[in-house]
Amino acid sequence: MADVCHGSGLLVSDIALEFGQDAFEDNDVGIRFTPSFAALLRETVEKLQDCQPGGALLLEGHTPGLPAENNPMRCSIGEEAAALLRDHLEREGVCRPIRCIGYGSAEGLGLRVRVRLEGTETPDTQAPPTPANPTSSIQDTLRQIRHQIHQLSCAMPLTFKSNSSDLSQEGTCFVLKTAKLARSHPELTIQCSGFAKGLPEEDNQAKRELSKLRADAVAKTLQKHGVRNKILSYGFGSALGSGLCASVDFLAPDEDAEGNEFRSIPNVELVTEDQEGSVVDALLKELLLQFSFEPNGVRISASPLLRMVALVLKSFPSWIIRCEGHAKGLPKENNLEKKQLSLARSENVRKALQELGVRNPIHCFGYGSEMGIGKAVRMYALERQGALRIPELTDMTADDREKELNRLLEQMLSSNIDFVPNQTAIPKSAGGVLSSIADLLRAFPDEMVLVCEAHARGLPEEHSESKEKLTRRRAELWCQELRSRGVLQDLQCRGAGCAEGLGPCVRMWVTSQAPVESPAVSDQEDPRTRVNVLLAAALEKDGAVKFATNSYQVPAAAAGVIKALATVLATCPQCPICVEGHAKGQPGENSEAKQRLSRMRAEALKVELRKAGVSNPIRCIGRGSDGGLGTCFQVVVDEGQTSLEETEVTLQDTQLSVEERRRLLEERLDAILDGGFKFQPNTMELQLGSAIALSKVAQLLKAFPDVTVESVGHAKGRPEDNNDARVRLSEDRAAVVRRALVAEGVANAITCTGVGSSLGLGTKVCLRTVHPGRVPSPSSGSTELPSEPPPPSQSRMAPGASELREQLARAEMDKKEKLQILCKQQEERAKALETLNSRKEVFIIRPGRLCVRRRTFDPPFPILDSFE
């Protein structure tokens, strides 16, 4: 604020103003003149023309309020009102020098501008009183300005357009008012801070660049409106979790500060205790990436960076910090010399920070080139000093103790563990967390049972068996570290891989220590009710199991629940159960897509139950979001499932012949097996989708027990590359499908055939019905069930179709020869159509096979005369 010069001289006029309804639109404070302004302006101009030339004009701007309430912001608004009148006087031709000054509410005159002619004071005129705003120290001034900035930001936040550095309308008004205030204190340093939307742990380079552009936009706007203060500009990204905005802070004069440096962490008082660790890690990560070291030296050339690191640590003095030094080279090139060099670097950084006044405990380590990240220093927030507060357990019940321990474990393990990618070793930076957890567990009863589950980096769809093994080993090593620190509780280790997409971390929680009670079904009056009760207890044994978003992969955390369900169902294998899948959302938001997803989740759980040895009849349904239960599953006794015997009787009571039943089964198999059964690469294990389809096929075959089917295996490769090894591999996979169907209770006669890559269809297994009276082609290996010999069968392909495919497979890439073969095939199909038309049956011809569908209406009926 400029020095307040109290008016002296002839009072020419006193012009009242008012705040308009269009505030912050036509001008930045919404001030406008009253209806009588035009007459007062003409009168003022006439008085000035009658006065002697040469005198300067003084325009005093006043604002509403009491003298005791005056502050720099009010004075700024008064100065703006005076400037508004100055523009009108200049347009009216007043040529005198005009000086504007803001009095604020120092005289309590309301919103008005007084016009004085300097140097011509009359006896009737007295100088206005001194405003009630005496000169204060720098700290008092800063405290007052920050209070005004806070009030201003509440009224008009400094915001931006989404994903842009363009100021919003409110943001522009904020900057204009701040510029008025800054011009009154040109000696102060201004820091413009930009932010981006997101959590501290989601900070990245793109967000930091966007926030830097926002801070620069505020600085340029201030300079454009006459601000000559020293301005610092810094982009914090989402490290502080402040959202889509920016801030302006007034600081004490600082000659050493550079333009791209921050000297204050804005809104640090708004950071919660739960966020402090993430905020410290995000700020330190960005700053330490810019450190540079001399070759083979330990001295750093980063004074501004060190000042900023020191400021971060001083803002969070209760945190214990881990400082890691690294050296240039590959991991295999690591040696003792490099470790000593990197340790010296970390200790040098600690010494420099302590000289700048940092008092945080800093633990130094030297990794050499073990991480392969070059010459660098990394710092992490380990834990808050004295953060562990173990509650009094004497008056707690067992359930309360479990809940309290789960809460504390979740709090301690909320941050990721910096595991080295694809390695199982527990990082040294996790030592503080392990010690805190050990101290916590030693305070709780030894008979408690806990689950320790490790996770790896990756998306849920990238989950694999190798990642599951990696995380299982990490969990085991984590538990070993706890054992070495005196933990006596029973610890159960699990590896979740990346099935839940949580990143490299460890989760621990209390689990039930008593096994699920097995029901004595025969002794119960209502055994199904009893089973439902035990199924509900099994589902709650290790807590609710949640699926990853838009995924039907059963999470690894469900292993305990599946085992408990299998224990219950093992005692009542004839009891039919229903598996219900659920999806995220409210009941009113249910849709067909959610129902499909939840059905796939139920089918995936069914596959896992079968792997666990459950033989009960299982029906799967997808509820979508109809129940509003979120991404989970439910298992209950199926009260409405029709028994398989009833289904078979219903089908057998119909007047369908064996051939008609075979055709009907063929059609239904085609609908389910679109593309055949698929296997995991280089294994004999079915993919999840194919395992789900197999359960549907088994249910279908149980309704057609008298139809013989053939399991045909195919291998990857071109027809000309077929060999005995591929034939054997495809036959083995066909046998895997047969054994899986038998395990599902299928009683049909099943023949296994392996054709290798002779047809070039890729890695899969197909099922086809066998026509009575024909036998499979002997061109490939085949095996049968050790039960009664199946009736003679034939391929479901049209007569001559297999021979045709063999001819095409053996043919060279000569187009003429293949064209001749296809033309011959078309002639044979035409003859077949003429013959079938007289039999009043409809034939649908597809490449390589001829399928018959029974006519259910009288002729005439048009015969298909085109081919796929």
Range of the domain at 700: 645-796
Same domain, 427 and 555: no
Using an 8 Å Cβ cutoff, are 477 and 425 in contact? yes
Residue 447 is predicted with a pLDDT of 81
Q: Are residues 333 and 241 in the same domain?
A: no
For 7, the 3-state DSSP assignment is coil
**Residue 519 predicted with pLDDT over 50:** no
| Sequence letter at residue 73 | M
The better pLDDT of the pair 32, 244 is held by: 244
The answer to whether residues 191 and 232 touch, using CB atoms and an 8 Å cutoff, is: yes
Q: In what order do the strands lie in the sheet with 10-19?
A: 31-33, 10-19, 112-117, 57-62, 98-104
- On whether both 792 and 775 belong to a single domain, the answer is yes
Quickly list H helices, 359-454: 398-412, 431-442
Q: Is the pLDDT of residue 454 over 90?
A: yes
Mean pLDDT, to the nearest integer, of 814-824? Answer: 62
Per-residue confidence at 682, pLDDT binned at 50, 70, 90?
Answer: low
Task: Enter the tokens of residue 751.
Answer: 């023949």
Q: Which amino acid is at 250?
A: F
| Residues 423 and 438 grouped into a single domain | yes
Q: Are 287 and 305 in contact (CB under 8 A)?
A: yes
User: How many angstroms separate the CA atoms of 516 and 540, rounded?
Assistant: 10
Q: What is the pLDDT of residue 800?
A: 45
Residue 93 is predicted with a pLDDT of 83
pLDDT at 461: 80
Residue 704 lies in a domain: yes
What is the Cα–Cα distance from 849 to 842, expressed in whole angstroms?
14
pLDDT at 774: 56
Domain endpoint, select from 641, 656, 684: 641
- 3-class state of residue 79 by DSSP: helix
In a domain, 127, yes or no: no
φ and ψ at residue 499, rounded to 5 degrees: -60, -30
Please give the average per-residue pLDDT across 463-483, as a whole number.
89
- CATH number assigned to the domain comprising residue 578: 3.30.1330.60
865 domain residue, yes or no: no
How far is Cα 377 from Cα 356, in angstroms, rounded to an integer? 18
Q: Which amino acid does the sequence have at 864?
A: L
Q: Is the pTM of this model over 0.95?
A: no
Here the tokens at position 824 are 């011959």
The identity of residue 741, as a single letter, is: L
Which of 445, 476, 511 corresponds to the end of one domain? 511
Instruction: Indicate if the pLDDT at residue 841 is higher than 50.
Output: no
Question: Residue 182: pLDDT above 70?
Answer: yes
State whether 402 and 495 are in the same domain. Answer: yes
Q: How many CB atoms lie within 10 A of CB 532?
A: 18
**Same structural domain, 486 and 534:** no
Same domain, 402 and 461: yes
**Contact by Cβ (8 Å): 492, 557:** no
Percentages (nearest 5) of helix, strand, coil residues in the chain: 40, 15, 45
Q: Regarding predicted confidence, which is higher, 797 or 397?
A: 397
Please check whether residue 603 lies inside any domain of the structure.
yes
Among 4-13, 37-46, 352-361, 400-409, the minimum mean pLDDT is found in 4-13
Same domain, 557 and 632: yes
Question: 862 lies in a domain?
Answer: no
Q: Does 465 map to a domain?
A: yes
Across residues 583-599, what is the average pLDDT? 83
The total of structural domains in the chain comes to 7
pLDDT attached to residue 522: 47
Least confident of 234-248, 378-392, 790-804: 790-804
Residue 763 lies in a domain: yes
Number of CB atoms found within 10 A of residue 620's CB: 23
With bands split at pLDDT 50, 70 and 90, how would you rate the model's confidence at 506? very high
- Do 174 and 151 contact (CB within 8 A), yes or no? no
Q: Which range has the top average pLDDT, 54-68, 408-422, 847-861?
A: 54-68
Last-in-domain residue among 617, 641, 665: 641
Kindly tell me if the per-residue pLDDT of 587 is higher than 80.
no
User: What is the band of 56 on the pLDDT scale with cuts at 50, 70, 90?
Assistant: confident
Average pLDDT over all residues of the chain: 76
Statement to judge: residues 497 and 614 lie in one domain: no
pLDDT recorded at residue 805: 53
DSSP 284-335: HHHHHTT--B-TT---B--HHHHHHHHHHHHHSTTEEEEEEEE-SS-GGG--
What are the tokens at 616? 């009960």
Give me the mean pLDDT over the 110-137 stretch: 57
Confidence band (pLDDT; 50, 70, 90) for 811?
low
Residue 371 per-residue DSSP state? S
Give the per-residue pLDDT at 592. 79
Between CA 306 and CA 324 the distance in angstroms is 16
d(CA 496, CA 555): 7
Q: Which pLDDT belongs to residue 162?
A: 77
The pLDDT of residue 567 is 84
Classified as helix, coil or strand, 567 is helix
Q: Is residue 5 part of a domain?
A: no
Evaluate if residue 333 carries a pLDDT over 50.
Answer: yes
8 Å CB contact between 60 and 113: yes
Give the pLDDT mean for 244-266.
84
Which range (44-48, 97-101, 156-160, 787-791) has the least confidence? 787-791
SS3 track for 163-215: CCCCECHHHHHHHHHHHHHHHCCCCCEEEEEECCCCCHHHCCHHHHHHHHHHH
Is the same domain home to 345 and 435? Answer: no
Are 669 and 751 within one domain?
yes
Bridge partners, residue 364, by sequence: 323
What sign does the CA torsion over 324, 330, 331, 336 have? negative
My answer on whether 152 and 216 are in the same domain is yes
State the burial class of residue 641 (Cβ atoms within 10 Å of its Cβ: 0-12, 13-18, 19+). middle
**Sign of the torsion formed by the C-alpha atoms of 51, 53, 54 and 57:** positive
